[in-house]
Amino acid sequence: MKKFIISAVVALAVFGLNAGAQVRFGAMGGFTSSSTKVSKIDSKSISLYHVGFTMQAKFGPMAIQPSLLYQMKGTNMENYEKLPIAEAIGLTKIETKVGYLELPVQLQYGLDLLLLRPYIFAEPFVGYAVNIDNDAHGLKGAIQAAKDIKHDFKESNFNRFEYGLGLGAGVDLGSLQLSAKYFWNFGSLAEENEVPNAQDITKSMTEAFKSKKSFNGISVSLAYFF
pLDDT exceeds 80 at position 223: yes
User: What is the average pLDDT value for the chain, to the nearest integer?
Assistant: 79
pLDDT exceeds 80 at position 65: yes
Instruction: Please state the rounded mean pLDDT for residues 174-181.
Output: 97
Q: What is the rounded distance in angstroms from the CA atom of residue 143 to the CA atom of residue 126? A: 34
Instruction: Please state the rounded mean pLDDT for residues 6-25.
Output: 65
pLDDT exceeds 60 at position 22: yes
CATH number at residue 69: 2.40.160.20
Task: For residue 74, give Cα distances in angstroms to 8, 47, 105, 153.
Answer: 26, 8, 22, 14
Q: Residue 15: pLDDT band by 50, 70, 90 thresholds? A: low
What is the model's pLDDT at position 196?
47
Model pLDDT for residues 178-197, shown as the tens digit of each residue: 999 999 988 777 765 444 45
Nearest alpha-carbon partner for 191 in 219, 135, 149: 149
Max distance between CA atoms of the chain, in angstroms, equals 64
* Rg of the chain, C-alpha, whole Å: 19
Q: Residue 58: pLDDT band by 50, 70, 90 thresholds? A: very high
Structure-model confidence comparison of residues 210 and 133, the more confident one: 133
Model pLDDT for residues 120-138, shown as the tens digit of each residue: 999 999 999 999 887 776 6
pLDDT over 90 percentage in the chain: 42
pLDDT exceeds 80 at position 148: no
Tell me if 9 sits within 8 A of 126, measured CB to CB: yes
Tell me if 73 sits within 8 A of 85, measured CB to CB: no
Nearest alpha-carbon partner for 158 in 184, 198, 183, 185: 185
Domain that holds residue 125: 2-225
Alpha-carbon 155 to chain mean position? 22
Q: What is the rounded distance in angstroms from the CA atom of residue 101 to the CA atom of residue 128? A: 5
Tell me if 111 sits within 8 A of 71, measured CB to CB: no
1-19 burial, b if ≥16 CB within 10 A, otherwise e? eeeebbeebeebbeebeee
Instruction: Please state the rounded mean pLDDT for residues 58-86.
Output: 80
Model pLDDT for residues 75-116, shown as the tens digit of each residue: 877 655 555 555 555 666 677 889 999 999 999 999 999 889
Q: Which residues pair with 53 in a beta bridge?
A: 27, 68
pLDDT exceeds 90 at position 146: no
Q: What is the rounded distance in angstroms from the CA atom of residue 178 to the CA atom of residue 172? A: 7
Instruction: Please state the rounded mean pLDDT for residues 160-170.
Output: 94
Q: How many domains does the chain have?
A: 1
What is the model's pLDDT at position 121?
98
- Whole-model pTM: value is 0.76
What is the model's pLDDT at position 73?
92
